[in-house]
Chains A and B, each alone.
Chain A
């Protein structure tokens, strides 16, 4: 072989390798910690879906104002929402954004796997940090470390269609408060209107999520901790059995749950917005903006208390903001500044609250949806006063839900392996709703074994 050919060949082989090395070097270079004021670009979750044009416009205004205030920070926002399935893939693949927006079920596993950063040094300096609801913060703190900040919190309640209530001869101002009433109302709605009386979701872990929330209302818990610290399944008992029997009766005796029971939350929001579902369980403040965005009639929307079976409790959760573990110090600083700007400031800075409310109202976005506050009561009251003149949601429609919030105990989702537990419970819920001969005792025992296995693996 000629020397020239050999050189060319060597270059051919070496070039891709060198390029690869160069790529690695530049990636590594970015990871070095630097000056807090250096130019930094962060990717953030939480941009509203493109179909919600008004919300996107407001979001972009907030980004522009933020970038003007902090010229060294550039925000790249994504409207891809958290998803139980794809989220872990993105984290593992390194394509997850700097700022993560996740439900409260996720932090324990994310913290344990080292996938989120400790932001204590920056977060504790925020003025409003001490006013944050300690009940939510328990899930986000480990000793002195702080792994996230809540954006909003929610409690389960009944979402219902006031017009279908009227058509069925029910009083729309008096939503059901017990499960017996729910069953009765659902049958009546189905019979009188031909629509689904009570909608249910069972895939993507939502069946397990709902079984958990419903069991709480009968006084049940999904898992319990032994004195030696080990967790085990605790749902093979009366509360869960009551929920499953209720479902079975509504599905197969009353035929009030419709034929479509193998869906997830988004499917039910769509069916409910189209006026095809009488009642279902969710977080009403979260459902309302999606309901409006999908063309739901504001006057038909109703939010009632979580129906009870004697437990006087409801499942409570939150959406929290966390920073990717791969973020540099500068990125962490920028992410926390953005959290303060977008999520905290509009709640505590009354001027900002009023401005945001005014802009939202002008864009036709819902303003004043009653929520479970992430700050203490005094802060929330001041906030409500500040935005009062821009409120455009039918607050009265939420009144039964809001009134119930102070009556119930808030029970968090399972402390460990919540998503795995929900995934193990989905088939149980599906079995009851798709098989008229489902053996509830056998299903509960089977699911119990499966959850015990999950918990044992989790501990090892």
Chain B
């Protein structure tokens, strides 16, 4: 894959070289002009930076402060040191929520990664009806999440009349309690999350697939490669950059799962679907304890940063091979 490495490395090296060469090339009297131009650029950027800083970075900085305070957002905040973290770590629900979140993440990767990829590969092979397939695949993304989730709640009705149970009943299975069962509730939520998120992933995979050179497939076909061999040796390696980015986004998204447990199970039954984000929500908006909620948010953010860094480190060699 020499070509890929050159393509990836090329522009960066070029930029670096140009940057090094630049001072030598230009005449000294033009330096002031350049600096002024840079200053003007910065000045033009300033309003955007200020607005971005105010709406994006300021709340983050504020939340870091809030994690060490006790406040009801009306009376003046009071510094409490590490008290919020102490409360958090003494909460017996925290390990449960962390494990649940991990379980959700593992399940949603196990189902949520291969399904859209497989769909995209199959759809790219369609000779007819590709547009219709893409529309159908993307439709769940257009449905408002709460509506979709409530619809699924009806599908998951535990009685024999529930849509899924009725279907399974045709082949002599069930009825299953789905959301009413501590064991089945989380996998049920993963199915919903995968269903609602797959459309976007499929579109991205499809776009990436168009970038794979058809010559490679033709060559492979001439060599007598089977469909599976073509997918394994051409499609997947060619798409690995996209797959790795989507996988990371999926991990981050799964760890922050909220809508499904919030709307469908409220963390139940018996805490089987309480996630970290649901705990943050309850601390903040149910119990009015914003300090502890922010402390947990900060912890979650730290975990996400670590997970992302480790992930990028682990996959660096593979993604640039």
Q: A residues within 8 Å of B by Cβ?
A: 1, 5-6, 9, 12-13, 16-17, 84-86, 88-89, 92, 109, 113-115, 202-204, 258-262, 264, 325-326, 419-420, 423, 426-428, 430-431, 433-435, 438, 446, 449-450, 453, 457, 460
Contacts and interface: CB of A to CB of B under 8 A. Distances in A.
A259 B270 contact: no
A93 B285 CA distance: 10
Given A12-B47, A13-B47, A449-B92, A325 B74 contact: yes
A1 B268 contact: no
B281 to A, nearest CB: 8
B284 interface: yes
A258 B285 CA distance: 32
A86 B285 CA distance: 7
Contact of A115 (B72, B90, B282): B72
Contacts of A115: 72, 74
Contact of A113 (B72, B267, B282): B72
B268 A92 contact: no
Contacts of B47: 12-13, 16
A37 B89 CA distance: 53
B287 A92 contact: no
A33 to B, nearest CB: 18
B265 A114 contact: no
Interface string B121-161: 00000000000000000000000000000000000011100
Q: For the complex of A and B, list the 9 residue pairs with the smallest distance between their C-beta atoms, beginning with the closest.
A: A431-B270, A203-B266, A259-B158, A430-B269, A434-B269, A113-B72, A89-B285, A430-B268, A427-B271
B256 interface: no
Contact of B266 (A17, A109, A204): A204
Interface in B49-81: 50-51, 72-75
Given A1-B39, A259-B158, 4 more contacts: A13-B46, A427-B270, A430-B270, A434-B270
A204 B261 CA distance: 12
B271 to A, nearest CB: 4
A9 B44 contact: yes
B276 interface: no
Nearest to A417: B287
B40 interface: yes
B91 interface: yes
B180 A261 contact: yes
A423 B158 contact: no
A260 B180 contact: yes
Nearest to A12: B47
A450 B74 contact: no
A423 B282 contact: yes
Interface in B202-223: none
B266 A259 contact: no
B270 A88 contact: no
Contact of B269 (A114, A325, A431, A446): A431
Contact of B177 (A9, A16, A259, A427): A259
A114 B72 contact: yes
B36 to A, nearest CB: 6
11 contacts: A12-B47, A17-B50, A85-B281, A89-B284, A113-B72, A115-B72, A202-B269, A259-B159, A262-B179, A262-B268, A264-B266
Interface string B180-197: 111000000000000000
B1 interface: no
Contact of B288 (A88, A204, A423): A88
A5 B270 contact: no
Contacts of A460: 83
A115 B75 CA distance: 9
Of the candidates A431, A438, A450, the one having the most CB atoms from chain B within 10 angstroms of its own CB is: A431
A9 B43 contact: yes
B287 to A, nearest CB: 5
Contacts of A433: 269
A444 to B, nearest CB: 13
A453 B72 CA distance: 20
B286 A85 contact: yes
Contact of B73 (A6, A92, A434): A92
Contacts of A1: 36, 39-40, 43
A274 B243 CA distance: 49
Interface in B243-295: 265-271, 281-282, 284-290
Nearest to B37: A1
Nearest to B92: A450
Nearest to A206: B266
